[in-house]
Amino acid sequence: MFPLARPRRLRASDGARRLVRETHLTPADFVQPLFVLPGKNERRPVRSMPGVFQISVDVAVKEARELRRLGVPAVILFGVPATKDATGSDAADPDGIVQRAARAIKNACPDLVVVTDLCLCEYTDHGHCGVLKGTGRAAVIDNDATLDLLGRIARVQADAGADWVAPSGMMDGAVGVIRRALDDAGRADTAILAYAAKYASAFYGPFRDAAQSAPSFGDRRSHQMDAANAREALREVALDIKEGADMVMVKPALSYLDIVRRVRDRFDVPVAAYNVSGEYAMVQAAAQKGWIDGDRVTEEILLSIKRAGADVILTYHAREMARRLA
């Protein structure tokens, strides 16, 4: 007879466990989101996201330098403009808040990858992801009018120094329009990170505090995905790749690890997953109550996202996790 198999032999010590570990986290796996707003030396806490702040451009530059020192290779910028209007004009302004932050960060940290969120919800007074047609609560997003505006915003962001633009509104045809706009403007080297499978999720609530982007009426289920659908995600990803996406994203991450795995298995492009605000806030709240070990739970969550197949993880834990891994 064969001797009894004892898998525990390889778990007997910390050294042994580390030697046979299948999935490894490094600071290079992460992208840190930053919420930028006008002003100087501003650092406003986000009530529903302990440890996350709305910050002015000068503070964002300091954060970028620290992230680079820790080995985090990228940031993604979200704007909190001073004023909002029906068409989100600050988003397309060469001197808009995200454009100012992108220029300053690239000047200070040329080797840091700057990703710019490409959506209108942070900039419109109604909080929706595009230009509206109709009036009042009967208004709906005008998909094609929104595409033209997204193309213009992409050019402005690329001119400001964005390495990647990240269309997040799930507008039909957005990636193709943005790719053509960038190429026509001589920005063929600017990459597109498409929010290709973005679900209409309740996990985004704290983000809407941070970006001040909650819709003033209705919701986003007309253009973001139904949580019940998986095959549809593969169709959405295929369309974005066909239109020119260089990388695709699944959002949220933790409740959609099956989608991350399916996308990773089906497509030969880099796959990102967004460990979103609600996922972050639940860990922080439970850790503050002493109900969980926040550091260990965070590591398990991030390992699960990478184990599912994500090449890149956008996470509010990036800075602290990089410090722990250093």
Catalytic residues: 198, 251
DSSP 8-class letter at 12: S
Residue type, 243: E
Whether residue 46 contacts residue 54, with contact meaning beta carbons closer than 8 Å, is answered with yes
Pairing state between β 247-251 and 140-141: unpaired
Closest to 277 measured CA to CA, from 253, 296, 249, 257: 253
Token pair of 176, please?
């193709």
Closest to 32 measured CA to CA, from 312, 247, 274, 316: 316
